[in-house]
């Protein structure tokens, strides 16, 4: 039994040493993002050329070639679905009460937004149709820019 304990102890020590070496070789989580990237879990949204929202409430859900990205809190933020089947394309973009604007883009109904990716950061730019909270009966179109890091 003493030999088995010594073998187990040596094995455990080796495992701890290997684990320590791996941890030391991993880049720190707080490393600054590269040019064109945001820190993972951060989003920046602009409407009509004006920066309006930065959020650290980001959820990215990949499912095959599609990624659904949700930012902000209930009733305020953005939901988009990005498809990477034949390059990057937005299937939908929904803005919810972002600087008073609520609007959307749906694939096949309007001009498609541009979608680019640098590392983990997506850039989605386009136009959404919807309404402004100050005049909800008037349908308007607003330009938007969304940067979000998954």
Give the pLDDT of residue 105: 96
Give the Cα-Cα-Cα angle 22, 26, 29 (nearest 5 degrees): 140
For residue 33, the model assigns a pLDDT of 65
Q: Which stretches of the chain score pLDDT less than 50?
A: 1-29
Report the pLDDT value the prediction gives residue 143, as an integer from 0 to 100: 95
For residue range 27-61, list pLDDT tens digits in order. 344 566 676 688 888 899 999 888 887 788 899 99
Say which DSSP state 25 is in.
H
pLDDT of residue 41: 86
Residue 31: per-residue pLDDT: 61
3-state secondary structure of 26: coil
Q: 3-state class of 30 per DSSP?
A: coil
Rounded (5°) CA angle 59-64-68: 25
Q: What percent of the chain has pLDDT over 70?
A: 77
Note the pLDDT of residue 129: 96
Radius of gyration from C-alpha coordinates of the chain: 22
- Specify the residue for token string 């001009």: 111
């Amino acid at each position: 039994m003493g030999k088995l304990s010594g073998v187990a102890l040596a094995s455990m020590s080796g495992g701890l040493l290997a684990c320590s070496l791996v941890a030391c070789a991993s880049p720190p989580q707080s490393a600054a993002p590269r040019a064109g990237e945001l820190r993972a879990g951060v989003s920046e949204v602009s409407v009509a050329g004006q920066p309006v929202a930065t959020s650290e409430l980001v959820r990215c859900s990949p499912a095959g070639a599609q990624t659904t990205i949700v930012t902000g809190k209930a009733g305020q933020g953005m939901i988009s679905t990005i498809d990477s089947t034949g390059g990057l394309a937005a299937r939908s973009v929904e803005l919810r009460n972002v600087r008073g604007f609520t609007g959307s883009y749906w694939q096949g109904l309007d001009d498609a937004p541009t979608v680019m990716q640098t590392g983990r950061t997506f850039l989605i730019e386009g136009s959404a149709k919807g309404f402004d909270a100050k005049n909800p009966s008037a349908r308007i179109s607003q330009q938007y820019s969304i940067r979000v890091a998954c």
